[in-house]
Amino acid sequence: MTTKGEFSFSTCWNIKRHTSGREMIEEIKQLGFSQVELNYNVTKQMLASILPMIEKEEMNISSVHHVFPFYDDKEYDPDSIMLGFEDESKRKKAVTLLKETIDHAAHLGAKGVVVHPGEVPFSYNIDKTLKEIYHSKGRNSIEYKQLWSEMIKKRERESKFYVKRIQDSLEEVSEYIARKQYNVGIGLETRSRCYQIPTLLEANQLINELKGAPVYLWYDIGHAMMMDRMGLYDNLQDLQLVKDKILGVHIHETIELSDHWCPYIHSQSEDFDSFIEVIKEAPIKVYELKSVCTPEEIERSHKMIKKKISTI
């Protein structure tokens, strides 16, 4: 396996195979990575066995994924209203949890915290239903268009209220980072469900409103591809507005609306070429791949990305 240098690798790939944090990190080291992103399923027990590895510089932490370490409460899991709660006590709790994640990130030497800031809540998972119709009848079907229209009207009507509360929460957390003098940035991640915040335009708005704060875009390439295909936004067009505001990227590709595949290998497509420059320029570059991706596929994918980067 080649040494992966500035590239990092998310523990989402192998966390379900391990109970020991050390063994999980050792497996990633065997892929040639010297940096990892610790995802939100890393428990306190796993972290305890990872800490000695960091102290001995056996592995560096590029980033951590909020909520970190694992927090067993569905109300504040990565698919929740999170920083946008209307209930002030819940919003304050979410702010406290993010501060605690940032404390961990600073202690671990991470430069970024990946955050799912919130969503416009629906009474059921309308995104799941839309994806089922997309696969069975297509995006141009009457059924898809009708349900999409219902979703987008509610999203556009209500999103501004959630975005404003998210902004208020991020202001509080940014002040905390400044007070603690942490060298840690917050990356607002592009999401995988159509009712989740932010779109690229929402991220751009939040970053602009919080000008000077350590708040950036975390560009999840696969998620943005999915939202483009579903019709939420024009990925490549909107990306031009925010490409200079990126803290980090999650590198993975989609097949239709299935994500976390190895770029180029599983899709057999050159569409991913559009994101090579973004990957090259991103301060933090993290592969976020699903467990079925083999070490051989990961290696081949990385070599292709490196080769393409070398030509621009």
pLDDT exceeds 90 at position 270: no
Residue range(s) defining the domain that contains residue 227: 7-120+165-309
Tell me if 235 is assigned to some domain: yes
pLDDT exceeds 90 at position 267: no
Tell me if 85 is assigned to some domain: yes
Read off the tokens for 118. Answer: 């919130």
Residue 223 and residue 251 in contact, taking contact as beta carbons nearer than 8 Å: no
Helices (H), 190-311: 200-209, 221-230, 235-242, 276-281, 295-309
Q: What is the pLDDT of residues 159-174, one digit of tens each?
A: 999 999 999 999 999 9
Q: Side chain identity at 296, as an amino acid letter? A: E
Q: What is the pLDDT of residues 32-77, one digit of tens each?
A: 999 999 999 999 999 999 999 999 999 999 999 999 999 999 999 9
Residue 111 CA, chain-centre distance (Å), reads: 14
Query: What global pTM score does this model have?
Result: 0.97
In this prediction, residue 268 carries a pLDDT of: 83
Q: What is the pLDDT of residues 67-105, one digit of tens each?
A: 999 999 999 999 999 999 999 999 999 999 999 999 999
Tell me if 136 is assigned to some domain: no
CATH number at residue 295: 3.20.20.150
* Among 245, 268, 255, residue whose Cα is nearest residue 222: 255
Q: What is the pLDDT of residues 206-261, one digit of tens each?
A: 999 999 999 999 999 999 999 999 999 999 999 999 999 999 999 999 999 999 99
Tell me if 15 is assigned to some domain: yes
Q: What is the pLDDT of residues 103-149, one digit of tens each?
A: 999 999 999 999 999 999 999 999 999 999 999 999 999 999 999 99
Mean model confidence pLDDT for the chain = 97
Tell me if 141 is assigned to some domain: no
Count the domains in the chain: 1
Angle at 217 between CA 179 and CA 226, to 5 degrees: 150
Look at the block and give the residue holding tokens 């379900």. 16
pLDDT exceeds 90 at position 265: yes
Tell me if 154 is assigned to some domain: no
